[in-house]
Amino acid sequence: MMRFVLGTLFLSVNAFAGDFTSSATENALIAAQSEPELADWIQTMIPVRNRAGLFYFPTKNLVQPEAQALVLERLLRAEDDSAVRVALAYALDGSQLIPWEKIAAESDAKVRVAMIHLTKIHKGPDSSALLVNALQDSSTEVRAEAARLAGYLPLSPELATTLKAHLSDSAPDVRALSARTLGWKADPETFEAIRPLLNDPEAVVRNRALQALANIDPVKTKAMPELAKLQDDSHVPLAKRAQRLAE
């Protein structure tokens, strides 16, 4: 019964609070009043490293609405170091997005990257709009992650246009991941926009571009004169991919 009441209160606060941080603080206060032991634990919990060396919280106790409210509030309070805040962001379930204005104010790019991951879970128009903004971020890491995450969303016209623009991004990872995402969507109109990347100076970009083109239109890709050159590319995986396509 208590969880039902709290869920109702969360929705009420989120619907009428004008400021995201104030809403998050209020939600956390409600949760702490209901679950004081949970609140104490979440305020002091410490992440551990996984096999990849990244921090995370190895528990299923963060899935309930009260826990989510408390995790979000701790993240926004910004009293922890970067690694802990990244773990907090990845512990969120995507039931609500952090506004881009709040994310953009974060000085640490790794925290911004972790915060935009919620678009993959939340999805929908708000997620697309957030990634459009993230693709304009000054950090290569944030832009690359935004291009990657866009592959998990239905592409809005604005997001698709932004990804096309980032096929000429200064960072190879952003170019490569923009091509990959557009290739996943298999929109024939993006074929010619991606094609110039077959001559990109970075092998990772050339490889992603060829993958994308083959996914969009394998017949057209096989007929491209560029394919002959790519079969002798110094990047062995790319050369083998081109050889397979040419068969």
In this prediction the pTM is 0.88
pLDDT at 13: 41
pLDDT tens sequence across 158-182: 999 999 999 999 999 999 999 999 9
Higher pLDDT, residue 63 or 10: 63
pLDDT tens sequence across 217-238: 999 999 999 999 999 999 999 9
3-class secondary structure per residue, the chain: CHHHHHHHHHHHHHHHCCCHHHHHHHHHHHHHHHCHHHHHHHHHCCCEECCCCCEECCCCCCCCHHHHHHHHHHHHHCCCCHHHHHHHHHCCCCCCCCCHHHHHCCCCHHHHHHHHCHHHHHCHHHHHHHHHHHCCCCCHHHHHHHHHHHHHCCCCHHHHHHHHHHHHCCCHHHHHHHHHHHHHHCCHHHHHHHHHHHHCCCHHHHHHHHHHHHHHCHHHHHCCCHHHHHCCCCCHHHHHHHHHHHC
pLDDT at 8: 41
